[in-house]
Structure 1
Amino acid sequence: MKLLHTSDWHIGRTIEGRDRHDEHEAFFNELIEIAEDEKIDAVLMAGDVFDSVNPPAKGEELFYESMARLSDHGKRPVVIIAGNHDHPERLAAARTLLRKHRIYIQGYPTIHPLRIPIEGSEADLCIAGLPYPSESRLKESFTEINDELAIREAYDLRISDIFNQLTSSFSNKDICVAMSHLFVAGGSSTESERPIEVGGAYTVRANQLPENVHYTALGHLHRPQNIHRSKAPARYAGSPLAFSFSEAGYAKSVTIVDALPGEKADIREVFLQSGRPLVKWKATEGLAQVHTWMDQRLDADAWIELDIHMKDTPSMEDIHRLKKHYPRLLNIRPIFPEQEQISGPERKHVAIDELFKQFYERQTGGASPDEDLTHLFLEIVNEEEGAS
């Protein structure tokens, strides 16, 4: 039996306010092509279908149309669980209709596994699906425990208990997989994931993932990666698109799991070609260097973040000209001579209020911000960090 594992589509997500609908459309076309070329028996989608609980209408339309094509109108099962960005009830609202097309959607955690007959296989596909297990979705609270380590232990045990119940009926005569959308301790995150819980207490140890399965398909982290120290193979498929510049240079992929009853599964990546790359430009020679790159059409299809070394603040006309020539140039960050002297680890330790003071002095021609203005700036920064 051959399975395809994908996750974290985040349909409707923008980058610096720019629409990425065409990239998601291209991804689904590629995903369907991979499923057909690889002769995939079932698709596992491990959460975060949408980027928000109220996705745009064209995003929902793309989702339903793509799922009909991906399932080959009922010939290929598609199993979807809700992630932390999904509205579990809204995502699963059409589950009765979709199940007739062998599209299975689970919004809330349960203790009941899913068993799906696969055409041409004597074995069934048994799935222990655990959608994003927040306190509210588990319908219990860990906040009465004051110690963070104790919270971690309690949460670990609860997740382990759910998986034990979900997999208790699994047999080595079937193909058995687990699915969840959570943060396994030791996984490598990027800036584009929002923390599941403040403080990181609500993570799960790798050894709490089920042992009596061929594979555990995980969602939440956007970088494709295997989980070490799990008792059975476990992996994050990663997101199909790069959502922040911290992901620049990382290849995106889906995971293929080839499994036989009672045998170890074969796991491999299929790399994706759709989705614009995210690229960081560092123009140490100023505007002239940027113009040369643009004339060469360097990274013409990419989203670009530009660091440009300059002596003076660029004019709005300069910025407008650059963005008109390269519409996907998203961020332009001028670096001035005094900043060049502060680099690497040392620069990271410069206080934020000092950086604000330096910026204010440049913008005003030497004036210093008063105490009230600096305090207001720090309040805004703290609010933004708390909301991210």
Structure 2
Amino acid sequence: MKILHTSDWHFGKKLEGQSRIEEQKKFIETLNVIVKNENIDLILLAGDIYDTYNPPAEAERLFFNSIKLLSNNGQVGIIIIPGNHDNPKRLSSVSALAEDYGVIIYEKAFQTIPIGKYGSLKIIHSDEGGILVEQNNKKAYIYNLPFPSEATLNEDFQNIKFHERISEILHNGIEKNIFNVPSIIMTHIYVSGSMGEGDEYLELGGARAIAIDDLPNVNYIALGHVHKPLAFKSKNAYYCGSPIEYRITENKFEKKVFVVNITKEESIVKNIPLDNFKPIKEYSVNGA
């Protein structure tokens, strides 16, 4: 199966009060060209679609138009999970309409998505957090974990460390793949070792970080949360990063999306650079 991994769109985000909508529209146009040129079967959108819990109307309008465009009227599947910036209920409120376009939007962890046809995408098995999908005669099992916290998981982590619990969830989730098809995980978490310029910073001095060894061995892990493209190749785990510069520190690295050709035997990851439509620059002036 050929997937496109993208995340951290942050629709509605402003820079010093200035809207970024026009840049974000250009990104979606570019992404649509990539989807068509690469013959993508499935798009994985790993959280932080919006920048705030209550995004402005223009941001929601852009999201609706984007998933309609990218899905090619249901010919390309799209799976979406909420990130820490998203309001899960608000994000998933359009699920019933989006399903006709092959778009599946998770609201919470351990959610069971109904079996059926979503555009041309078929869900032929479903369990808590996981789905066995078929698209263009290709199959994969995808375990989806939206941004995990005490509130979203309804757990207090008093008897187990956070990273141990997340590891347990991911391992238990992916063990449900008994179908002899590739295993994929999509989640919005912070993996320790990914701290750097432009990254999201977590609270509690990194206590909510996940170690790379906490991740299961699967064919591909699509990560969201960190704005810098990063690879943990020992686990086939990747951050694609945000699509445009959202901070001055983000002008130090190239923006990308990942196209991944996944089979049981191997995962071939292709980096596709994105145009920088409006670079953020910083000028220092010394006055007399």
> What TM-score does the superposition give when structure 2 sets the normalisation length?
0.90
Query: Corresponding residue for 1:200?
Result: 206
Distance 1:17 1:198, change over 3 A: farther
Q: In 2, Cα distance between the equivalents of 1:171 and 1:30?
A: 37
Query: Corresponding residue for 1:307?
Result: 284
Q: Deviations over 1:68-117 (max 9, x none)?
A: 11011111000110000000111111212212221011121113302221
Code of the aligned partner of 2:80: I
Q: In 1, Cα distance between the equivalents of 2:196 and 2:141?
A: 29
Q: In 2, Cα distance between the equivalents of 1:109 and 1:208?
A: 18
Query: Corresponding residue for 2:274?
Result: 272
User: Which contiguous aligned blocks of 4+ residues in structure 1 show a shift greater than 6 angstroms?
Assistant: none
Q: In 1, Cα distance between the equivalents of 2:191 and 2:202?
A: 11
How far the C-alpha of 1:269 sits from its partner, in A, is 0.5
Query: Corresponding residue for 1:233?
Result: 236
Code of the aligned partner of 2:219: H
Q: Please list, as runs of the form range in 1=range in 2, the aligned pairs for 1:55-94 lying within 5 A after superposition.
A: 55-94=55-94
What are the ranges of 5 or more consecutive residues in structure 2 without an aligned counterpart?
111-127
Q: In 1, Cα distance between the equivalents of 2:132 and 2:278?
A: 37
Code of the aligned partner of 2:231: N
The one of the two structures with greater contact order (alpha-carbon pairs below 8 A, sep at least 6) is 2
Moved more, 102-111 or 80-89: 102-111
State whether residues 144 and 185 of structure 2, in contact with CA within 8 Å, keep that contact through their aligned partners in structure 1: yes
Percent identical among aligned pairs is 34
Query: Corresponding residue for 2:141?
Result: 126
The answer to whether 1:214 aligns with 2:219 is yes
Q: In 2, Cα distance between the equivalents of 1:23 and 1:76?
A: 24
- Larger Cα Rg: Structure 1 or Structure 2? 1
How far the C-alpha of 1:42 sits from its partner, in A, is 0.5
- Give the structure with the higher percent helix: 1
Q: Please list, as runs of the form range in 1=range in 2, the aligned pairs for 1:210-359 lying within 5 A after superposition.
A: 210-211=216-217, 213-227=218-232, 230=234, 232-260=235-263, 262-279=264-281, 305-311=282-288
Moved more, 215-224 or 107-116: 107-116
Distance 1:267 1:58, change over 3 A: same
How far the C-alpha of 1:17 sits from its partner, in A, is 1.1
- Give the structure with the higher percent strand: 2
Query: Corresponding residue for 1:16?
Result: 16
Code of the aligned partner of 1:60: E
The match for 1:184 among 180, 191, 198 is 191
> What TM-score does the superposition give when structure 1 sets the normalisation length?
0.67
Distance 1:191 1:36, change over 3 A: closer
How far the C-alpha of 1:154 sits from its partner, in A, is 1.2
Query: Corresponding residue for 1:42?
Result: 42
Determine helix, strand or coil for the equivalent of 2:4. strand
Aligned length: 271
State whether residues 4 and 258 of structure 2, in contact with CA within 8 Å, keep that contact through their aligned partners in structure 1: yes
